[in-house]
């Protein structure tokens, strides 16, 4: 049974006139008549009574009509589903993000804009460190990531595109002498206690802190570790230590914590959007393009 012949049948059943049906289909009457004859032969039944004056449906034609309409409707629905999937309008997008990234005004603005443009896409947000995101993208557990590039580099299979750069700030207890110092440099932190993310957590800022201190000839004295940004800032308020943090963490307003700009010219951190190299998923392409448009 040919789909085109079913279309011919439904149009002719609506019009009950060969000339009008052919005009509606954009064909001549000859292929329309041939198509109907072929369909009747396939089904082994006459579908229309034909006379010089009129065309009417037979009982077999009446029996076929509802099914034919339903078949064509399902085919059209299938076409639309495929088109939506290819166009990126439906499906799922698994997006990784860092804890600090979620505190930036950029993050809710981007997510809201994407959901507004693609309301039928189910977006799954997964909070992971930068290193864990790179692993998850490479292993196809995530589609896209919002992360900070590790100093050790990223896998060749992952594409990183910069979104924005922000300063690293010194988060320190407000009563500490450095909270009110005229200028603060990383070198001034040589003998100070630090609070940091665990090294194994894969947080890029931790790696960067070690590198910045190493360039000044010392290793930071890490007295306390914290898994979450809010915990880290809260512990700084106790006076246990200080930390280098992205400027977006200023959104965590904890009494007793001061964020100081550093005088060093290499204390910045960049957020990237990451995805697998060669990924042709339309949802990924659209999200990356949207993220880059916000730069």
Question: Is residue 195 within 8 Å of residue 222, measured between CB atoms?
Answer: yes
Give the H/E segment covering residue 257.
strand 257-261
Q: Residue 274: what pLDDT? A: 97
Strands 193-196 and 158-173: unpaired
The pLDDT, as a whole number, for residue 83 is 72
End-to-end CA distance of the chain: 54
Residues 7, 10, 15: CA angle, nearest 5 degrees:
125
Burial class (CB in 10 A: 0-12, 13-18, 19+), 153: exposed
Tens of pLDDT, residues 11-37: 999 999 999 999 999 999 999 999 999
Residue 152: per-residue pLDDT: 78
- The CA distance from 276 to 145, in Å, is 10
176: Cβ contacts below 8 Å, ≥ 6 apart: 239, 242, 258
Give the sign of the dihedral formed by CA 253, CA 256, CA 257, CA 258. Answer: positive
pLDDT of residue 129: 94
Task: Report all structural domains of the chain as residue ranges with CATH numbers, in order of start.
Answer: 3-87 (1.10.10.10), 93-271 (3.40.190.290)
Task: Please give the pLDDT value at position 241.
Answer: 97
Q: Which residues of the chain have pLDDT under 70?
A: 80-81, 84-85
Q: Name, in order, each residue with C-beta under 8 angstroms of 251's C-beta and a sequence gap of 6 or more.
A: 103, 104
The pTM assigned to this predicted structure is 0.74
- Predicted pLDDT at 165: 95
Residue 233 parent element (H or E): helix 229-237
């Amino acid at each position: 049974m040919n789909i085109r012949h079913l279309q011919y049948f439904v149009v002719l059943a609506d019009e009950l006139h060969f000339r009008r049906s052919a005009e509606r289909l954009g064909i001549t009457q000859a292929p329309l008549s041939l198509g109907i004859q072929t369909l009747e032969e396939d089904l082994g039944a006459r579908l229309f009574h034909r006379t010089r004056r009129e065309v009417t449906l037979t009982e077999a034609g009446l029996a076929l009509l509802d099914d034919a309409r339903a078949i064509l409707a399902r085919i059209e629905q299938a076409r639309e589903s495929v088109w939506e999937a290819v166009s990126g309008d439906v499906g799922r997008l698994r997006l990784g993000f860092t804890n600090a990234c979620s505190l930036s005004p950029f993050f809710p603005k981007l997510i809201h804009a994407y959901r507004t443009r693609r309301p039928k896409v189910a977006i799954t947000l997964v909070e992971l460190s930068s290193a864990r995101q790179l692993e998850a993208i490479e292993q196809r557990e995530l589609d896209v990531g919002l992360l900070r590039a590790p100093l050790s580099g990223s896998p060749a299979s992952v594409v990183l595109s910069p979104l924005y750069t922000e300063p690293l700030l010194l988060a320190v207890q407000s009563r500490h002498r450095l909270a009110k110092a005229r200028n603060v440099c990383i070198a001034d932190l040589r003998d100070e206690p630090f609070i940091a993310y665990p090294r194994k957590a894969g947080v890029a800022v931790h790696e960067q802190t070690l590198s910045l201190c190493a360039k000044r000839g010392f290793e930071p004295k890490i007295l306390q570790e914290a898994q979450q940004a809010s915990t880290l800032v809260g512990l700084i308020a106790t006076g246990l230590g200080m930390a280098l943090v992205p400027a977006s963490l200023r959104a965590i307003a904890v009494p007793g914590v001061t964020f100081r700009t550093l005088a060093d010219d290499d204390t910045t951190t960049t957020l990237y959007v990451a995805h697998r190299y060669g990924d042709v998923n339309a949802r990924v392409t659209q999200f990356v393009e949207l993220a880059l448009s916000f730069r």
